[in-house]
Structure 1
Amino acid sequence: MKEFIMIFRSEINESFGPTPEQTQGNMQDWMDWMGGIAAQEKMAGGSRLSFEGKTLKPNNVIADGPYAEVKEIIGGTIVVKANNIDEAMKLAEGCPILSHGGNVEVRTIIPVNS
Structure 2
Amino acid sequence: MKNFLLLFRADSTQAAKRSPEEMQASTKKWMDWIGSIAAQNKLVDRGNRLEHTGKVLRGNNVVTDGPFTEIKETLGGYTMVSAGSLEEAVEMANGCPILQMGGSVEVREISVL
Q: TM over 0.5, yes or no?
A: yes
The residue number in structure 1 matching 2:2 is 2
Q: Which amino acid aligns with 1:12?
A: S
- Taking the TM superposition and a 5 Å limit, the aligned residue runs for 1:4-43 are 4-13=4-13, 16-43=16-43
**Percent identity of equivalent pairs:** 46
Q: Which amino acid aligns with 1:99?
A: Q
- Secondary structure of residue in 1 paired with 2:51: coil
Deviation at 1:89, TM superposition (A): 0.7
- Secondary structure of residue in 2 paired with 1:50: coil
Distance 1:62 1:21 in 2: 39
Check 1:15–1:21 CA distance in 2 against 1; reply closer, same or farther (3 A cut): closer
Deviation at 1:68, TM superposition (A): 5.4
Deviating more after overlay: 56-65 vs 88-97: 56-65
Check 1:80–1:14 CA distance in 2 against 1; reply closer, same or farther (3 A cut): closer
Check 1:47–1:8 CA distance in 2 against 1; reply closer, same or farther (3 A cut): same
The residue number in structure 1 matching 2:103 is 102
Measured on the aligned residues, the alpha-carbon RMSD in Å equals 1.7
Q: Which amino acid aligns with 1:81?
A: S
Deviation at 1:106, TM superposition (A): 0.4
Check 1:62–1:110 CA distance in 2 against 1; reply closer, same or farther (3 A cut): same
* Runs of 4+ displaced beyond 6 Å: none
Check 1:70–1:57 CA distance in 2 against 1; reply closer, same or farther (3 A cut): farther
State the Cα deviation string for residues 28-82 of structure 1 (Å, max 9, x = none): 1100000000000000001211112111122212111225564320110100000
What TM-score do the two structures reach when normalised by structure 2?
A: 0.90
Gaps of 5+ in 2: none
- Secondary structure of residue in 1 paired with 2:17: coil
Distance 2:34 2:22 in 1: 18
Check 1:17–1:32 CA distance in 2 against 1; reply closer, same or farther (3 A cut): same
